[in-house]
Chain A
Amino acid sequence: MAFGRFEDLLTATVFERLAYLSGDTLWGIIRDTFAVPACPKERVAKLKAMQFWPMWSAATDTLGKSVEPDVVLQMLIGESRELWTFIIECKLGRSQDLIQLCDEWEAFRYEAAGEYDPHRTMLLALGGLWSDRRLLPALADYSQKRFGKPLFGAAAGWSDLMNAVARASAASSSEARVLVDIRQALELHGHRIASPLRDLAGAARAIGVRAGCFSISQRGVPDEC
Protein backbone atom coordinates (compact mmCIF):
# COMPACT_ATOMS: atom_id res chain seq x y z
CA MET A 1 0.00 0.00 0.00
CA ALA A 2 2.78 2.39 0.90
CA PHE A 3 4.39 1.87 -2.48
CA GLY A 4 1.08 2.61 -4.18
CA ARG A 5 0.72 5.92 -2.34
CA PHE A 6 4.29 7.02 -3.17
CA GLU A 7 3.79 5.88 -6.77
CA ASP A 8 0.68 8.01 -7.23
CA LEU A 9 2.28 10.99 -5.50
CA LEU A 10 5.40 10.82 -7.67
CA THR A 11 3.34 10.28 -10.83
CA ALA A 12 1.13 13.28 -10.14
CA THR A 13 3.99 15.51 -9.01
CA VAL A 14 6.11 14.80 -12.08
CA PHE A 15 3.46 14.72 -14.80
CA GLU A 16 1.50 17.71 -13.53
CA ARG A 17 4.72 19.71 -13.85
CA LEU A 18 5.58 18.22 -17.24
CA ALA A 19 2.24 19.56 -18.46
CA TYR A 20 3.45 23.12 -17.78
CA LEU A 21 6.24 22.75 -20.34
CA SER A 22 5.90 23.73 -23.96
CA GLY A 23 4.82 20.92 -26.26
CA ASP A 24 8.25 20.79 -27.88
CA THR A 25 10.08 20.49 -24.55
CA LEU A 26 7.63 17.92 -23.20
CA TRP A 27 7.88 15.84 -26.34
CA GLY A 28 11.69 16.06 -26.26
CA ILE A 29 11.70 14.69 -22.71
CA ILE A 30 9.31 11.85 -23.56
CA ARG A 31 11.37 10.92 -26.65
CA ASP A 32 14.65 11.09 -24.73
CA THR A 33 13.31 9.12 -21.76
CA PHE A 34 11.92 6.22 -23.75
CA ALA A 35 14.48 6.36 -26.58
CA VAL A 36 12.66 4.11 -29.01
CA PRO A 37 12.97 4.23 -32.79
CA ALA A 38 9.19 3.81 -33.08
CA CYS A 39 8.66 7.30 -31.66
CA PRO A 40 8.09 9.99 -34.27
CA LYS A 41 11.29 11.94 -34.92
CA GLU A 42 9.61 15.32 -35.29
CA ARG A 43 10.65 17.92 -32.73
CA VAL A 44 7.56 20.08 -33.01
CA ALA A 45 4.71 19.02 -30.79
CA LYS A 46 1.72 20.37 -28.94
CA LEU A 47 0.09 18.95 -25.86
CA LYS A 48 -3.55 18.17 -26.59
CA ALA A 49 -4.54 16.56 -23.31
CA MET A 50 -3.10 14.95 -20.21
CA GLN A 51 -5.44 12.87 -18.10
CA PHE A 52 -4.63 11.29 -14.76
CA TRP A 53 -6.17 7.95 -13.78
CA PRO A 54 -9.08 8.07 -16.24
CA MET A 55 -11.60 5.34 -15.47
CA TRP A 56 -12.23 3.42 -18.70
CA SER A 57 -15.33 1.24 -18.57
CA ALA A 58 -16.29 0.78 -22.23
CA ALA A 59 -14.48 -2.57 -22.36
CA THR A 60 -15.92 -3.89 -19.10
CA ASP A 61 -17.87 -6.64 -20.88
CA THR A 62 -14.68 -7.89 -22.51
CA LEU A 63 -12.21 -7.37 -19.67
CA GLY A 64 -14.61 -8.00 -16.79
CA LYS A 65 -13.54 -4.77 -15.11
CA SER A 66 -12.87 -1.10 -15.60
CA VAL A 67 -9.33 -0.04 -16.32
CA GLU A 68 -7.45 2.93 -14.90
CA PRO A 69 -4.10 3.82 -16.48
CA ASP A 70 -1.93 6.28 -14.57
CA VAL A 71 -1.53 8.95 -17.25
CA VAL A 72 -2.88 9.35 -20.75
CA LEU A 73 -0.93 11.82 -22.81
CA GLN A 74 -2.22 13.01 -26.16
CA MET A 75 0.04 15.06 -28.36
CA LEU A 76 -0.14 16.59 -31.81
CA ILE A 77 3.22 15.79 -33.30
CA GLY A 78 5.02 17.27 -36.27
CA GLU A 79 3.99 19.94 -38.74
CA SER A 80 1.11 17.71 -39.84
CA ARG A 81 -0.09 17.60 -36.21
CA GLU A 82 -0.64 13.87 -36.08
CA LEU A 83 -2.50 12.84 -32.94
CA TRP A 84 -0.53 10.38 -30.84
CA THR A 85 -1.81 8.78 -27.65
CA PHE A 86 0.59 7.57 -24.98
CA ILE A 87 -0.84 5.33 -22.27
CA ILE A 88 1.59 5.60 -19.38
CA GLU A 89 1.75 3.06 -16.58
CA CYS A 90 3.99 4.07 -13.68
CA LYS A 91 5.47 1.69 -11.13
CA LEU A 92 7.51 2.47 -8.07
CA GLY A 93 8.95 -0.39 -6.02
CA ARG A 94 7.00 -3.04 -7.88
CA SER A 95 7.13 -4.59 -11.33
CA GLN A 96 5.21 -3.83 -14.49
CA ASP A 97 2.45 -6.31 -15.30
CA LEU A 98 1.95 -7.49 -18.90
CA ILE A 99 -1.74 -8.23 -18.40
CA GLN A 100 -2.37 -4.79 -16.96
CA LEU A 101 -0.54 -3.09 -19.84
CA CYS A 102 -2.50 -5.02 -22.45
CA ASP A 103 -5.79 -4.46 -20.59
CA GLU A 104 -5.12 -0.73 -20.77
CA TRP A 105 -4.46 -0.91 -24.49
CA GLU A 106 -7.65 -2.88 -25.09
CA ALA A 107 -9.70 -0.58 -22.86
CA PHE A 108 -8.44 2.45 -24.79
CA ARG A 109 -9.39 0.78 -28.08
CA TYR A 110 -12.99 0.50 -26.85
CA GLU A 111 -12.99 3.82 -25.04
CA ALA A 112 -11.52 5.98 -27.79
CA ALA A 113 -13.26 4.25 -30.70
CA GLY A 114 -13.03 7.09 -33.25
CA GLU A 115 -9.70 8.40 -31.97
CA TYR A 116 -8.06 5.00 -31.73
CA ASP A 117 -5.24 4.51 -34.20
CA PRO A 118 -3.13 1.43 -33.51
CA HIS A 119 -0.19 3.00 -35.32
CA ARG A 120 -0.31 6.15 -33.23
CA THR A 121 -1.01 4.65 -29.83
CA MET A 122 1.85 3.63 -27.60
CA LEU A 123 2.16 2.03 -24.19
CA LEU A 124 4.85 3.63 -22.06
CA ALA A 125 5.98 1.64 -19.01
CA LEU A 126 7.73 3.93 -16.54
CA GLY A 127 9.53 2.24 -13.64
CA GLY A 128 9.12 -1.34 -12.46
CA LEU A 129 11.23 -2.68 -15.28
CA TRP A 130 11.99 -6.33 -15.08
CA SER A 131 15.43 -7.17 -13.82
CA ASP A 132 16.29 -9.10 -16.96
CA ARG A 133 15.29 -6.09 -19.11
CA ARG A 134 13.03 -8.35 -21.17
CA LEU A 135 9.78 -6.50 -20.46
CA LEU A 136 9.39 -5.29 -24.04
CA PRO A 137 10.08 -8.64 -25.77
CA ALA A 138 7.72 -10.27 -23.26
CA LEU A 139 5.09 -7.60 -23.99
CA ALA A 140 5.49 -8.23 -27.71
CA ASP A 141 5.10 -12.01 -27.21
CA TYR A 142 2.14 -11.68 -24.88
CA SER A 143 0.28 -9.13 -27.01
CA GLN A 144 0.95 -11.21 -30.14
CA LYS A 145 -0.74 -14.16 -28.47
CA ARG A 146 -3.57 -12.09 -27.07
CA PHE A 147 -4.30 -9.75 -29.97
CA GLY A 148 -2.65 -11.49 -32.91
CA LYS A 149 -0.14 -8.64 -33.24
CA PRO A 150 2.54 -7.10 -31.08
CA LEU A 151 1.66 -3.82 -29.40
CA PHE A 152 3.62 -0.61 -29.69
CA GLY A 153 5.44 -0.16 -26.40
CA ALA A 154 8.44 1.42 -24.75
CA ALA A 155 9.87 1.23 -21.27
CA ALA A 156 12.15 3.35 -19.12
CA GLY A 157 13.15 3.81 -15.51
CA TRP A 158 12.49 6.90 -13.39
CA SER A 159 16.23 7.57 -13.58
CA ASP A 160 15.95 7.70 -17.37
CA LEU A 161 13.28 10.36 -16.96
CA MET A 162 15.53 12.17 -14.49
CA ASN A 163 18.39 12.16 -16.98
CA ALA A 164 16.10 13.32 -19.79
CA VAL A 165 14.84 16.21 -17.65
CA ALA A 166 18.45 17.12 -16.81
CA ARG A 167 19.38 17.12 -20.51
CA ALA A 168 16.32 19.07 -21.62
CA SER A 169 16.87 22.61 -22.85
CA ALA A 170 14.45 25.04 -21.28
CA ALA A 171 12.75 27.38 -23.74
CA SER A 172 12.30 30.05 -21.06
CA SER A 173 13.23 30.88 -17.48
CA SER A 174 9.84 29.63 -16.31
CA GLU A 175 10.46 26.31 -18.06
CA ALA A 176 13.87 26.13 -16.40
CA ARG A 177 12.17 26.50 -13.00
CA VAL A 178 9.68 23.72 -13.84
CA LEU A 179 12.52 21.42 -14.91
CA VAL A 180 14.35 22.07 -11.64
CA ASP A 181 11.12 21.39 -9.76
CA ILE A 182 10.70 18.03 -11.50
CA ARG A 183 14.29 17.07 -10.74
CA GLN A 184 13.80 17.96 -7.09
CA ALA A 185 10.63 15.86 -6.94
CA LEU A 186 12.49 12.89 -8.40
CA GLU A 187 15.42 13.44 -6.04
CA LEU A 188 13.02 13.43 -3.08
CA HIS A 189 12.04 9.93 -4.17
CA GLY A 190 15.64 8.79 -4.29
CA HIS A 191 16.31 9.29 -7.99
CA ARG A 192 19.43 11.24 -8.72
CA ILE A 193 21.66 11.61 -11.70
CA ALA A 194 24.20 8.89 -11.21
CA SER A 195 27.82 9.68 -11.92
CA PRO A 196 29.58 6.80 -13.63
CA LEU A 197 32.99 5.76 -12.36
CA ARG A 198 34.43 6.32 -15.82
CA ASP A 199 34.15 10.06 -15.18
CA LEU A 200 36.55 9.82 -12.24
CA ALA A 201 39.62 10.50 -14.39
CA GLY A 202 37.99 13.70 -15.63
CA ALA A 203 37.05 14.67 -12.08
CA ALA A 204 40.64 14.06 -10.99
CA ARG A 205 41.95 16.33 -13.74
CA ALA A 206 39.49 19.03 -12.70
CA ILE A 207 40.76 18.74 -9.13
CA GLY A 208 44.33 19.06 -10.34
CA VAL A 209 45.35 15.44 -10.04
CA ARG A 210 46.73 13.83 -13.15
CA ALA A 211 46.38 10.11 -13.76
CA GLY A 212 49.23 8.40 -11.93
CA CYS A 213 50.24 11.64 -10.27
CA PHE A 214 50.50 10.14 -6.80
CA SER A 215 52.45 7.19 -8.18
CA ILE A 216 55.11 9.47 -9.61
CA SER A 217 55.58 11.11 -6.22
CA GLN A 218 55.88 7.75 -4.51
CA ARG A 219 58.74 6.74 -6.79
CA GLY A 220 60.69 9.81 -5.87
CA VAL A 221 60.27 11.57 -9.20
CA PRO A 222 59.65 15.30 -8.76
CA ASP A 223 55.97 16.04 -8.34
CA GLU A 224 54.66 17.82 -11.40
CA CYS A 225 50.99 17.60 -10.53
Chain B
Amino acid sequence: MSVDPALSAALADVRKAYRLLWSYQRRLLDTIGLIAGEFPGVSFASWQPMDFYPPARKSVNPADYWASDLLPLMGADFFYLRHGNDRSMAQRGEWMLVINVTSDSGYEVESPEPDPARFEPAEECESSLELYIVKSTGDVPVRWTDGLWDRMEWPDDFPASILMESPALRAFGMKFDIAELGTSDAVIAAVANFKASAAADLQLDFTA
Protein backbone atom coordinates (compact mmCIF):
# COMPACT_ATOMS: atom_id res chain seq x y z
CA MET B 1 0.00 0.00 0.00
CA SER B 2 1.54 3.29 -1.03
CA VAL B 3 0.46 6.70 0.04
CA ASP B 4 -0.80 8.88 -2.78
CA PRO B 5 0.98 12.23 -2.19
CA ALA B 6 -1.73 14.23 -3.94
CA LEU B 7 -4.45 12.56 -1.89
CA SER B 8 -2.43 13.03 1.26
CA ALA B 9 -2.09 16.74 0.53
CA ALA B 10 -5.79 16.99 -0.32
CA LEU B 11 -6.70 15.33 2.97
CA ALA B 12 -4.56 17.86 4.84
CA ASP B 13 -6.61 20.52 3.07
CA VAL B 14 -9.78 18.76 4.17
CA ARG B 15 -8.61 18.78 7.76
CA LYS B 16 -7.90 22.48 7.47
CA ALA B 17 -11.27 23.02 5.83
CA TYR B 18 -13.08 21.26 8.68
CA ARG B 19 -11.23 23.38 11.24
CA LEU B 20 -11.97 26.52 9.28
CA LEU B 21 -15.64 25.55 9.05
CA TRP B 22 -15.76 24.85 12.78
CA SER B 23 -14.29 28.32 13.46
CA TYR B 24 -16.70 29.91 10.99
CA GLN B 25 -19.74 28.14 12.38
CA ARG B 26 -18.86 29.09 15.96
CA ARG B 27 -18.67 32.74 14.94
CA LEU B 28 -21.76 32.51 12.76
CA LEU B 29 -23.83 30.99 15.57
CA ASP B 30 -22.55 33.65 17.97
CA THR B 31 -23.56 36.33 15.48
CA ILE B 32 -27.02 34.80 15.12
CA GLY B 33 -27.32 34.81 18.91
CA LEU B 34 -26.26 38.43 19.03
CA ILE B 35 -28.89 39.35 16.44
CA ALA B 36 -31.64 37.51 18.30
CA GLY B 37 -30.54 39.19 21.53
CA GLU B 38 -31.42 42.54 20.02
CA PHE B 39 -35.09 41.49 20.09
CA PRO B 40 -36.16 41.50 23.78
CA GLY B 41 -38.99 39.18 24.66
CA VAL B 42 -38.13 36.86 21.78
CA SER B 43 -36.59 33.41 22.12
CA PHE B 44 -35.39 30.60 19.91
CA ALA B 45 -38.12 28.33 18.59
CA SER B 46 -36.55 26.07 15.95
CA TRP B 47 -34.19 25.86 13.01
CA GLN B 48 -33.95 23.98 9.75
CA PRO B 49 -31.54 23.55 6.88
CA MET B 50 -32.82 25.63 3.98
CA ASP B 51 -32.51 23.25 1.04
CA PHE B 52 -31.25 19.96 2.44
CA TYR B 53 -32.52 17.37 4.85
CA PRO B 54 -31.36 17.76 8.45
CA PRO B 55 -28.40 15.53 9.35
CA ALA B 56 -29.57 11.92 9.56
CA ARG B 57 -30.70 10.50 12.88
CA LYS B 58 -28.63 7.68 14.39
CA SER B 59 -30.83 4.98 12.89
CA VAL B 60 -30.74 6.47 9.39
CA ASN B 61 -27.86 5.72 7.05
CA PRO B 62 -26.38 9.05 5.88
CA ALA B 63 -24.94 7.24 2.85
CA ASP B 64 -28.47 7.02 1.47
CA TYR B 65 -28.68 10.80 1.34
CA TRP B 66 -26.68 13.66 -0.12
CA ALA B 67 -23.41 14.41 1.63
CA SER B 68 -24.54 18.04 1.87
CA ASP B 69 -27.14 16.98 4.46
CA LEU B 70 -24.17 16.89 6.83
CA LEU B 71 -23.37 20.53 6.06
CA PRO B 72 -26.59 22.16 7.31
CA LEU B 73 -25.15 25.62 7.83
CA MET B 74 -24.50 25.93 4.12
CA GLY B 75 -28.00 27.41 4.16
CA ALA B 76 -30.30 27.45 7.17
CA ASP B 77 -33.22 29.24 8.81
CA PHE B 78 -33.43 30.11 12.50
CA PHE B 79 -36.86 30.91 13.92
CA TYR B 80 -37.57 33.04 17.00
CA LEU B 81 -40.95 33.66 18.60
CA ARG B 82 -42.18 36.12 21.17
CA HIS B 83 -42.64 34.81 24.70
CA GLY B 84 -46.20 33.71 25.25
CA ASN B 85 -46.92 32.99 21.60
CA ASP B 86 -48.09 29.54 20.58
CA ARG B 87 -44.86 27.78 19.56
CA SER B 88 -46.39 25.86 16.69
CA MET B 89 -49.40 27.82 15.39
CA ALA B 90 -49.36 31.46 14.30
CA GLN B 91 -52.36 33.43 15.46
CA ARG B 92 -53.49 36.56 13.63
CA GLY B 93 -51.24 39.53 14.37
CA GLU B 94 -48.40 37.47 15.85
CA TRP B 95 -44.97 37.66 14.28
CA MET B 96 -41.75 35.74 14.18
CA LEU B 97 -38.15 36.69 13.54
CA VAL B 98 -36.37 34.60 10.93
CA ILE B 99 -32.61 34.67 10.51
CA ASN B 100 -31.70 33.07 7.22
CA VAL B 101 -28.09 32.18 6.53
CA THR B 102 -26.62 31.47 3.13
CA SER B 103 -22.99 30.62 3.71
CA ASP B 104 -22.39 29.93 0.01
CA SER B 105 -24.82 31.21 -2.60
CA GLY B 106 -23.12 28.99 -5.18
CA TYR B 107 -24.51 25.65 -4.08
CA GLU B 108 -27.04 23.89 -6.27
CA VAL B 109 -29.90 21.63 -5.29
CA GLU B 110 -30.95 19.96 -8.55
CA SER B 111 -30.99 16.16 -8.51
CA PRO B 112 -28.94 14.08 -8.88
CA GLU B 113 -26.60 15.11 -6.06
CA PRO B 114 -24.53 17.94 -7.52
CA ASP B 115 -20.74 17.97 -7.76
CA PRO B 116 -19.44 21.04 -5.87
CA ALA B 117 -16.49 21.19 -8.26
CA ARG B 118 -18.97 22.44 -10.85
CA PHE B 119 -20.43 25.24 -8.73
CA GLU B 120 -19.85 28.84 -9.72
CA PRO B 121 -16.40 30.08 -8.59
CA ALA B 122 -16.52 30.80 -4.87
CA GLU B 123 -15.08 34.29 -5.42
CA GLU B 124 -18.13 35.16 -7.53
CA CYS B 125 -20.63 33.91 -4.93
CA GLU B 126 -21.98 35.48 -1.75
CA SER B 127 -22.13 34.73 1.94
CA SER B 128 -25.18 36.52 3.21
CA LEU B 129 -27.56 36.77 6.06
CA GLU B 130 -31.21 37.75 5.60
CA LEU B 131 -33.45 38.98 8.39
CA TYR B 132 -37.23 38.74 8.18
CA ILE B 133 -40.17 39.58 10.34
CA VAL B 134 -43.11 37.43 9.25
CA LYS B 135 -46.51 38.42 10.58
CA SER B 136 -49.61 36.26 10.35
CA THR B 137 -52.63 38.17 9.02
CA GLY B 138 -55.14 35.35 8.58
CA ASP B 139 -58.08 34.49 10.80
CA VAL B 140 -57.23 30.80 10.78
CA PRO B 141 -54.17 29.74 12.83
CA VAL B 142 -51.42 28.31 10.65
CA ARG B 143 -48.17 26.55 11.44
CA TRP B 144 -45.22 28.94 11.70
CA THR B 145 -42.66 27.10 9.61
CA ASP B 146 -44.33 24.86 7.06
CA GLY B 147 -47.53 26.93 7.06
CA LEU B 148 -46.11 30.43 6.74
CA TRP B 149 -42.36 30.54 6.18
CA ASP B 150 -41.93 27.63 3.78
CA ARG B 151 -44.79 28.92 1.62
CA MET B 152 -43.69 32.54 1.59
CA GLU B 153 -42.60 33.95 -1.77
CA TRP B 154 -38.90 34.67 -1.59
CA PRO B 155 -38.01 38.19 -2.62
CA ASP B 156 -35.45 38.95 -5.34
CA ASP B 157 -34.77 42.49 -4.20
CA PHE B 158 -34.10 43.96 -0.80
CA PRO B 159 -35.33 45.55 1.36
CA ALA B 160 -38.42 43.48 0.65
CA SER B 161 -41.98 44.14 1.69
CA ILE B 162 -44.06 41.01 1.16
CA LEU B 163 -47.84 40.79 1.18
CA MET B 164 -49.58 37.46 0.56
CA GLU B 165 -53.16 36.25 0.77
CA SER B 166 -52.42 32.53 0.86
CA PRO B 167 -50.96 32.00 3.32
CA ALA B 168 -52.18 35.27 4.78
CA LEU B 169 -49.06 37.10 5.85
CA ARG B 170 -47.10 40.28 5.74
CA ALA B 171 -43.34 40.18 5.93
CA PHE B 172 -40.37 42.46 5.73
CA GLY B 173 -36.85 41.36 4.89
CA MET B 174 -33.37 42.78 4.53
CA LYS B 175 -30.20 41.17 3.26
CA PHE B 176 -26.68 41.71 4.62
CA ASP B 177 -23.29 40.61 3.35
CA ILE B 178 -21.75 38.57 6.18
CA ALA B 179 -18.49 40.41 5.49
CA GLU B 180 -20.25 43.54 6.78
CA LEU B 181 -21.09 41.87 10.09
CA GLY B 182 -17.60 41.30 11.45
CA THR B 183 -17.97 43.09 14.77
CA SER B 184 -20.63 43.31 17.46
CA ASP B 185 -21.05 47.01 16.75
CA ALA B 186 -21.61 46.32 13.05
CA VAL B 187 -24.16 43.61 13.85
CA ILE B 188 -26.03 45.82 16.31
CA ALA B 189 -26.10 48.70 13.81
CA ALA B 190 -27.39 46.40 11.04
CA VAL B 191 -30.11 45.02 13.31
CA ALA B 192 -31.11 48.53 14.42
CA ASN B 193 -31.46 49.50 10.77
CA PHE B 194 -33.54 46.40 10.07
CA LYS B 195 -35.76 46.93 13.11
CA ALA B 196 -36.49 50.55 12.25
CA SER B 197 -37.44 49.63 8.67
CA ALA B 198 -39.46 46.56 9.69
CA ALA B 199 -41.29 48.47 12.43
CA ALA B 200 -42.29 51.16 9.93
CA ASP B 201 -43.28 48.67 7.23
CA LEU B 202 -45.28 46.33 9.47
CA GLN B 203 -46.46 48.86 12.09
CA LEU B 204 -44.81 46.91 14.87
CA ASP B 205 -43.29 48.12 18.11
CA PHE B 206 -40.27 45.98 18.98
CA THR B 207 -39.85 47.64 22.37
CA ALA B 208 -43.28 46.51 23.55
A209 lies within 8 A of chain B by Cβ: yes
Q: A200: which of B24, B38, B206 is its contact (CB, 8 Å)?
A: B24
A223 lies within 8 A of chain B by Cβ: yes
Report the Cα distance A60→B24, complex, angstroms.
Answer: 54
A207 lies within 8 A of chain B by Cβ: yes
Return A137 CB to nearest CB of chain B, in Å.
13
Report the Cα distance A130→B37, complex, angstroms.
Answer: 10
Which residues in window 55-104 of A have CB below 8 A to B?
Answer: 93-95
Interface string of B181-206 (1 = CB under 8 A from A): 11110001000100100000000001
Q: A214: which of B9, B30, B83, B122 is its contact (CB, 8 Å)?
A: B122
Return B85 CB to nearest CB of chain A, in Å.
14
Which residues in window 187-225 of A have CB below 8 A to B?
Answer: 192, 194-200, 203-204, 207-209, 214-215, 217-218, 223, 225
Place the interface of chain A in its size category.
20 to 34
Question: Would A195 and B123 be within 8 Å (CB), given that A130-B40, A208-B16 are in contact?
Answer: no
Question: Would A195 and B122 be within 8 Å (CB), given that A130-B207, A132-B192 are in contact?
Answer: no
Residues of B within 8 A of A204 (CB): 20, 23
Which residues in window 25-61 of B have CB below 8 A to A?
Answer: 26-28, 30-31, 33-34, 37-41, 43
Name, among B24, B37, B178, B188, the residue most crowded by chain A CB atoms within 10 Å (CB to CB): B37
A128 lies within 8 A of chain B by Cβ: yes
B5 lies within 8 A of chain A by Cβ: no
Return A167 CB to nearest CB of chain B, in Å.
15
B87 lies within 8 A of chain A by Cβ: no
Return B128 CB to nearest CB of chain A, in Å.
13
Q: B34: which of A194, A198, A214, A225 is its contact (CB, 8 Å)?
A: A194
Residues of A within 8 A of B151 (CB): none
Report the Cα distance A198→B43, complex, angstroms.
Answer: 26
Report the Cα distance A208→B207, complex, angstroms.
Answer: 45
Question: Would A197 and B28 be within 8 Å (CB), given that A203-B20, A218-B122 are in contact?
Answer: yes
Q: Is the pair B30, A196 in contact by a Cβ cutoff of 8 Å?
A: yes
In the complex, which residue of chain B has the Cβ closest to the Cβ of A195?
A: B27
A172 lies within 8 A of chain B by Cβ: no
Residues of B within 8 A of A132 (CB): 192, 195, 206-207
Q: Is the pair A200, B184 in contact by a Cβ cutoff of 8 Å?
A: no
Q: B41: which of A94, A129, A192, A200 is its contact (CB, 8 Å)?
A: A94
Name, among A133, A197, A198, A208, the residue most crowded by chain B CB atoms within 10 Å (CB to CB): A197
Q: Is the pair A197, B207 in contact by a Cβ cutoff of 8 Å?
A: no
Question: Would A131 and B33 be within 8 Å (CB), given that A197-B27, A200-B24 are in contact?
Answer: no
Question: Would A197 and B39 be within 8 Å (CB), given that A203-B20, A203-B23 are in contact?
Answer: no
Return B100 CB to nearest CB of chain A, in Å.
16
Return A188 CB to nearest CB of chain B, in Å.
16
Q: Is the pair A131, B38 in contact by a Cβ cutoff of 8 Å?
A: yes
**20 contacts across the A-B interface (CB closer than 8 A):** A95-B40, A95-B41, A95-B207, A128-B40, A131-B40, A132-B206, A194-B31, A194-B33, A195-B26, A196-B31, A197-B24, A197-B28, A197-B31, A198-B183, A204-B20, A204-B23, A209-B16, A214-B122, A215-B122, A225-B16
